[in-house]
């Protein structure tokens, strides 16, 4: 994941370390849920989109939850026009994804806002 995410300063960047930890935890959670490859890809894409909404678009918690709702719209329905882009999930899997995002991203949302939008000094720590 470090190479895929193109993290170059993992040893000295708190932001990169936190993001790597978040993506790794999400990946392993999805693997433990026995998601198929397509579902795993959709889940990881969802994690990335929600974090990008926060980081790049400065989206509020409420707006990001609305984006999640749009992405999950129509799961379990047979009408393809009303389904969102995550229709590879069953209703039960979608509920589990929402529960996971609630615990991992939405509850500590202020911490992620601070991570992305608050200036701070970065301490360089040696590898000794």
Is pLDDT of 128 > 70? no
Task: Indicate whether 25 belongs to any domain.
Answer: yes
Q: What percent of the chain has pLDDT over 90?
A: 59
Domain with 109 in it: 2-117
Task: Indicate whether 124 belongs to any domain.
Answer: no
**Quick check: pTM over 0.75?**
yes
**Nearest residue to 13 (alpha-carbon basis) of 113, 123, 109:** 123
Task: Indicate whether 123 belongs to any domain.
Answer: no
Task: Indicate whether 48 belongs to any domain.
Answer: yes
Q: Which residue has the tokens 């999640």?
A: 68
Task: Indicate whether 87 belongs to any domain.
Answer: yes
Task: Indicate whether 127 belongs to any domain.
Answer: no
Task: Indicate whether 126 belongs to any domain.
Answer: no
Interatomic CA distance for residues 18 and 16, integer angstroms: 5
What mean pLDDT do residues 101-120 have? Answer: 90
Per-residue model confidence as pLDDT tens digits over 7-61: 887 777 788 888 889 999 999 999 999 999 999 999 999 999 999 999 999 999 9
**Nearest residue to 60 (alpha-carbon basis) of 119, 120, 117:** 117
Contact of 75 with 87, CB cutoff 8 Å: yes
Under the banding of pLDDT at 50, 70 and 90, the label for residue 5 is confident
Interatomic CA distance for residues 59 and 51, integer angstroms: 9
What mean pLDDT do residues 86-110 have? Answer: 93
Interatomic CA distance for residues 43 and 75, integer angstroms: 14
pLDDT at 120: 63
Is pLDDT of 83 > 50? no
Task: Indicate whether 122 belongs to any domain.
Answer: no
Work out how many domains the chain is built from and give that number. Answer: 1
Distances from the Cα of 101 to the Cα of 29, 98, 123, angstroms: 11, 5, 30
């Amino acid at each position: 994941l470090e190479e895929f995410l193109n993290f170059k300063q993992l040893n000295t960047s708190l932001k990169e370390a936190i993001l790597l930890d978040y993506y790794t935890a999400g990946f392993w959670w999805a693997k433990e849920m026995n998601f198929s490859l397509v579902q795993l890809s959709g889940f990881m894409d969802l994690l990335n989109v929600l974090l990008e909404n926060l980081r790049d678009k400065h989206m509020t918690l409420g707006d990001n939850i609305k984006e999640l709702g749009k992405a999950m719209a129509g799961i379990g329905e047979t009408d393809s026009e009303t389904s969102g882009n995550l229709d590879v999930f069953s209703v039960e899997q979608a509920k589990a994804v929402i529960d996971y995002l609630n615990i991992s991203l939405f509850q500590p949302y202020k911490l992620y806002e601070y991570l992305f939008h608050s200036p701070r000094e970065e301490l360089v720590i040696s590898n000794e």
